[in-house]
Amino acid sequence: MNSSALSKISSTFESLTIRNFRLFTIGQVVSAAGTWMMVVAQDWLVLSMTADSAAALSTVTALQFAPLLLTLYGGLLADRYDKRRLLLLVNLAAAVLALLAAVLVLTGAVALWHIYLVALALGCVNAVEIPTRMSFVSEMVGPELLPNASALSGAYFNLARIVGPAGAGLLISLFGIGPVMLLNAVTFLGTIVALGKMRPGELRRPPPAPAGGAPRPARASGIRDGVRHAVGRGDLLPVFVLVAALSVFGFNFHLTLPLIAKTVFHTDAATFGLFASAMAVGSLAAAFATAGRRTRPSERTVIAAALVFGVVETAVGLAPNVAWSMALLALTGFTTLYFAQAANHRIQLGTDPYFRGRVMALYTLILQGSTPLGAVLVGALTARLGPRSGLWAGGLASFAAALVTLLWVRIRLTPPRPDRQETRKTIPECVPPATEGGRGH
């Protein structure tokens, strides 16, 4: 292997040279794999209890994502308190909830309303965990390695998506749903132990105030200032809008994939797990493709990724068999993560560190909090037009949203024509009102 290849590999994994981030990554791989096992087990349990009801599955999805409306408050907590300790608390809470679900299933006492309540409670935990985790990455590695660390975070998350669903499908076939849920509860120890072994003194927390200046009132005044900072930025607002559109219409795979596997191709939980793993393989490739990024991506990069995603997801909805579906889902996974990473990097690298927790909370709220609305819309669509419609309609809507955003950005960035500016300046001075037929200016 030549020196340039070695240098590229070294650059790709540069963030892992930092001990705190290395520990965090190991813990997250273990924990996230368990979480994806839980996703497959929960969805299969709901379909088994309700005779393949799309409405019940969409209800669980909506309940789990609805508390993300609290994410802005979670971002405020992340900006005000020690992120490492906050992550310890929320991961302990998630472990307890996962254990409760496992016990209910193993004892045969589980009812559909139990699953609804656990999904709602986990949603509340995630409302704090997600913005805290996302903003904690910059404290572990610093702004110069943030794109690389973010890409590697996407890599470990999608490695977990490969191992988790595939393993869950096999384990459900061999042992049933209850043991898989119990295993998920145990995997939270990965993150808890990793956070406990970190060296707090090596974290790069932002100073309490700018050098030589007074403390920022926005840091103390709360959520609205963070939202105002985000939506008041012309370079961030189109990205937020596009993330919202794709989240509502395109990112509903939790609902569409189990329905496709069970009711279109008439397969079992193992095939559903393979569908999720196929997406994860593509996402993992996208994570490594973006790991070398060191600068802020452009708006056009974000929009181009959204356009390609829309095309590929539409094709998945038209796939004739399982093999074609898996191949196209791998491409969908690539474009999904490439878009999400580009949007994430553009937002994080353009945000004041004092607002980062709240701005990433807004990003999370839009990215994942839009899912309940999307789940309701897609659930109604699939009930009327069939399971495939959730995919091809979502792809077409995502493509249209990207086109509209591209037009918006081009109009915003297009400077006024010089001849028109000159006309505005010269007409009032050189043309008497009488020659304009008496029209005023």
- pLDDT the model gives residue 417: 60
What total of structural domains would you count in the chain? 1
More confident residue, 277 or 294: 277
* 32 assigned to some structural domain: yes
- pLDDT the model gives residue 188: 94
Judged by phi (left if over 0) then psi (alpha if -120 to 50, else beta), residue 203 lies in beta
How many whole angstroms separate alpha carbon 231 and alpha carbon 69? Answer: 17
- pLDDT the model gives residue 425: 46
The burial class, CB within 10 Å (0-12 / 13-18 / 19+), for 241 is: middle
Tens digits of residue pLDDT in 111-157:
999 999 999 999 899 889 988 998 898 889 887 788 888 878 877 77
Residue 378 has pLDDT above 80, yes or no: no
The token pair at 188 is 């939270």
* 130 assigned to some structural domain: yes
How many whole angstroms separate alpha carbon 208 and alpha carbon 354? Answer: 9
Domain span at 411: 16-199+221-421
- pLDDT the model gives residue 219: 45
Residue 319: C-alpha distances to residues 168, 281, 312, 313, 374 (Å): 24, 18, 11, 10, 22
Q: Which long-range contacts link 423-427 to residues 24+ away (Cβ below 8 Å)?
A: none
Mean pLDDT score across all residues of the chain: 80
More confident residue, 255 or 305: 305
* 9 assigned to some structural domain: no
CB atoms within 10 A of CB 421: 11
* 170 assigned to some structural domain: yes
Q: How confident is the model at residue 210 (pLDDT cuts 50, 70, 90)?
A: very low
* 328 assigned to some structural domain: yes
Tens digits of residue pLDDT in 64-82:
877 777 888 888 888 888 8
Q: How confident is the model at residue 4 (pLDDT cuts 50, 70, 90)?
A: low
Which residue from 420, 398, 79, 404 is spatially nearest to 248, judged by alpha carbons? 398
Is this model's pTM higher than 0.95 or not?
no
More confident residue, 286 or 350: 286
* 1 assigned to some structural domain: no
Angle at 336 between CA 259 and CA 166, to 5 degrees: 50
The phi, psi pair for 159, rounded to 5°, reads -60, -40
Q: How confident is the model at residue 385 (pLDDT cuts 50, 70, 90)?
A: confident
pLDDT-wise least confident of 81-85, 167-171, 419-423: 419-423
Domain CATH for 238: 1.20.1250.20
Residue 292: C-alpha distances to residues 14, 319, 334 (Å): 9, 33, 16
More confident residue, 278 or 440: 278
Q: What is the C-alpha radius of gyration for the chain, rounded to an integer number of angstroms?
A: 24
Average pLDDT over residues 210-229: 58
How many whole angstroms separate alpha carbon 393 and alpha carbon 361? Answer: 28
Contact yes or no for 152/25 (Cβ under 8 A): yes
* 269 assigned to some structural domain: yes
Residue 437 has pLDDT above 60, yes or no: no
More confident residue, 39 or 417: 39
- pLDDT the model gives residue 426: 44
Cα 216 to chain centroid distance, Å, stands at: 29
Contact yes or no for 350/235 (Cβ under 8 A): yes
Contact yes or no for 97/184 (Cβ under 8 A): no
How many whole angstroms separate alpha carbon 109 and alpha carbon 106? Answer: 8
The three-state DSSP-derived secondary structure of 297-312 is CCHHHHHHHHHHHHHH
Residue 383: C-alpha distances to residues 116, 155, 301 (Å): 21, 34, 35
Cα 221 to chain centroid distance, Å, stands at: 27
- E-strand ranges in 222-337 read none
How many whole angstroms separate alpha carbon 142 and alpha carbon 139? Answer: 6
Q: Which residue reads 């024509």 in tokens?
A: 417
* 210 assigned to some structural domain: no
- pLDDT the model gives residue 291: 73
Which residue from 187, 214, 255 is spatially nearest to 46, judged by alpha carbons? 255
Q: How confident is the model at residue 104 (pLDDT cuts 50, 70, 90)?
A: very high
- pLDDT the model gives residue 19: 92
